[in-house]
Structure 1
Amino acid sequence: MATPTALPPLPFNPGRVRSYLVRLPLFTRLVLLVILAFWLLELQTIWSVVEWGALIPNEINLGTMYRLNTYPIIHTGFFHAFLNALALTPLLERFEAEHGTLTAIALFIGPLSTLPAGLYILIEKVILHGNTSVLGSSVWVFLLLGSEAIRTFKSNPYFSLGPYKIPTWTSPLLACVVLSILVSNVSFLGHLCAILVGYLFGLGYLKVFVPPEKVLRWIEGKLNLLGRLPHYVSVDQKTYGRYGVLPSNSASGTSGNQVPMSFLGNSQRLGA
């Protein structure tokens, strides 16, 4: 009697994946649930979610301004949604852990969605006279990569590629170019607009959009959000993330700095 062949080990540890998902903060969980919900809605044939919520330049008017917020959470299929969610989760989780849940909600429902959309419409419609629609949460992926690249550049200005030294702030641009070459039907312009907004955020030019901490603390205390909402990240918890102060061997001596993390007309998707 032949001995049964042992199954090959999994390329990942299911226990670690489950532990990571259980620890995801509140807003990150909500974003993933909304992405899943809109993908499920797209399975029906009565109403097209993509046509309703995609960022289509010629369709933007006072009655359709909601598209400036809906396009990042709508995708064209399972793999589009899954790969974008996979790339977005660690970046968004890190952002929320650092800035707090209320700040993340205010920024991603507001300027971190509308500014890339407005810049895209300006270039696509006014300058290029096109009407290519875009959608997908990779707009947030490239925006967060742009912000992290600026932070990394401040502590590690270059990375080596053979004999060449390449500025670290260019890494999202290189990723944008490579993705556009390797994957068809993705929006190079949409990703580029997201990266530019991410650069502005990383440089501090968008801090005017960040809600004042005094206001956030008042809201948290008034509504007892930390006590009522599981996985909520408060303003006071967010200074060094939810896991305490990370050790730093930086000799700069600057106080309060955290350790930098390296990290559709004709419809186009934002991301793979």
Structure 2
Amino acid sequence: MASTFVQFNPMRIRSYIFRLPLCTRGLVLVIVALWIASIPVVWLQEWAALVPKEVGITTMYRLNTFPLMHLGFLHLLFNVLALTPLLERFEAEFGTLVTLVLFTGPFGLLPGGLYVLIERGLLRSNTTVMGASIWVFLLLSSEAVKTYKANPNFTIGTYKIPTWSTPIFLILVLSFLIPNTSLIGHLCGAAVGYIWALNYIKFLVPPEKILRFIESKLNLLGRLPHYVSVDQKTYGRYGVLPTTNIPRSPEGGHRLGP
């Protein structure tokens, strides 16, 4: 334990925060700002939350605002701690523009729409949800599929567990341990993460030719600090092919959702 405290260095945390890419820090700042604003403006949570029976033509915005709003400080803290490293990795891999497009559009609409469909159509219920935990499990599922391609199983005793199932196991554990977590909401986020990693919805990403044109026309790399361009991505547009020589383990993190 003593060595753990010795290794803890606040400067490393500060350095890590200042190195975060542009879209990651922007989304985290919006999440924190909305929670702070919801303290004096009490109706803000109700306005942003995903309430299945209140989603209509004029309230479709809820499908994009609900991951940004949180119930309380602990809800906010755990989600931000879990989301930040996963989102940073995603942005480093796909670039700032792609991250912005997906997390302000399809990555809210798809899991949110699926949740509304299940709640209203199958369960005839109206359970309100909010919080970035749906994004955390989306990203965890995507990482788990990548890991599965390089390392299909891990062993517990005499059992071989598929590595892609790790997020599902975590969702089930959290649903039992933490009150008021949305099992269905987390599963919807994981489902979208799986179909993203399996390339079924990669068509949602704008063509790279268009991204390059926008970046060069607006000189985004030169004007915006911490911007990750199409040419600067760590792993290429759709990631690297898995290898058996360098297995990657899935990212982990606690998720606390309503």
Q: What TM-score does the superposition give when structure 1 sets the normalisation length?
A: 0.86
Q: CA deviation at 1:47?
A: 3.9
SS of equivalent to 2:57: coil
Q: Which residue of 1 aligns with 2:190?
A: 195
Q: CA deviation at 1:214?
A: 0.4
Q: Which residue of 2 aligns with 1:262?
A: 250
Contact 2:140 2:250 in 1 (8 A): no
Q: CA deviation at 1:261?
A: 5.2
Of 49, 52, 63 in structure 1, the residue corresponding to residue 47 of structure 2 is 52
CA distance, structure 2, for counterparts of residue 217 and residue 186 of structure 1? 41
SS of equivalent to 2:59: coil
- Poorly superposed stretches of 4+, deviation over 2 Å: 8-12, 248-252, 258-263, 269-272
Aligned residues with identical type, % of pairs: 57
Of 189, 207, 221 in structure 2, the residue corresponding to residue 212 of structure 1 is 207
Shift in CA distance, 63/11, structure 1 to aligned 2, threshold 3 Å: farther
Shift in CA distance, 221/157, structure 1 to aligned 2, threshold 3 Å: same
Of 128, 134, 147 in structure 1, the residue corresponding to residue 129 of structure 2 is 134
Give a deviation string over 1:36-90, Cα, whole Å, max 9, x none. 111111111x542110000000110111111010000000011100110000000
Q: Which residue of 2 aligns with 1:43?
A: 39
Shift in CA distance, 237/12, structure 1 to aligned 2, threshold 3 Å: same
Q: CA deviation at 1:262?
A: 2.6
SS of equivalent to 1:55: coil
Q: Which residue of 2 aligns with 1:3?
A: none
Gaps of 5+ in 1: 1-7, 253-257, 264-268
Shift in CA distance, 189/87, structure 1 to aligned 2, threshold 3 Å: same
Shift in CA distance, 40/187, structure 1 to aligned 2, threshold 3 Å: same
CA distance, structure 2, for counterparts of residue 194 and residue 249 of structure 1? 24
Spell out the pairing of 1:28-177 with structure 2 (5 A cutoff).
28-44=24-40, 46-177=41-172
Shift in CA distance, 140/251, structure 1 to aligned 2, threshold 3 Å: closer
Contact 1:134 1:270 in 2 (8 A): no
Contact 2:21 2:91 in 1 (8 A): yes
CA distance, structure 2, for counterparts of residue 259 and residue 68 of structure 1? 36
SS of equivalent to 1:75: coil
Of 20, 27, 46 in structure 1, the residue corresponding to residue 23 of structure 2 is 27
Contact 2:67 2:133 in 1 (8 A): yes
Q: CA deviation at 1:249?
A: 10
Give 1:72's aligned amino acid. Answer: P
Q: CA deviation at 1:271?
A: 2.4
Q: What TM-score does the superposition give when structure 2 sets the normalisation length?
A: 0.91
Q: CA deviation at 1:251?
A: 5.9
Shift in CA distance, 112/158, structure 1 to aligned 2, threshold 3 Å: same
Give a deviation string over 1:186-242, Cα, whole Å, max 9, x none. 10000001101100001000111011110000000000000000000000001437x
Q: Which residue of 2 aligns with 1:5?
A: none
Question: Root-mean-square deviation (CA), in Å?
Answer: 2.3
Aligned residues: 250
CA distance, structure 1, for counterparts of residue 244 and residue 111 of structure 2? 36
Shift in CA distance, 231/122, structure 1 to aligned 2, threshold 3 Å: same
SS of equivalent to 2:141: helix
Give a deviation string over 1:147-167, Cα, whole Å, max 9, x none. 111111111100111221100
Contact 2:111 2:189 in 1 (8 A): yes
Bigger helix share: 2
Give 1:271's aligned amino acid. Answer: G
Q: Which residue of 2 aligns with 1:13?
A: 9
Give 1:228's aligned amino acid. Answer: R
Q: Which residue of 2 aligns with 1:266?
A: none
Gaps of 5+ in 2: none
CA distance, structure 2, for counterparts of residue 71 and residue 251 of structure 1? 39
Q: CA deviation at 1:260?
A: 4.8
CA distance, structure 2, for counterparts of residue 53 and residue 60 of structure 1? 11
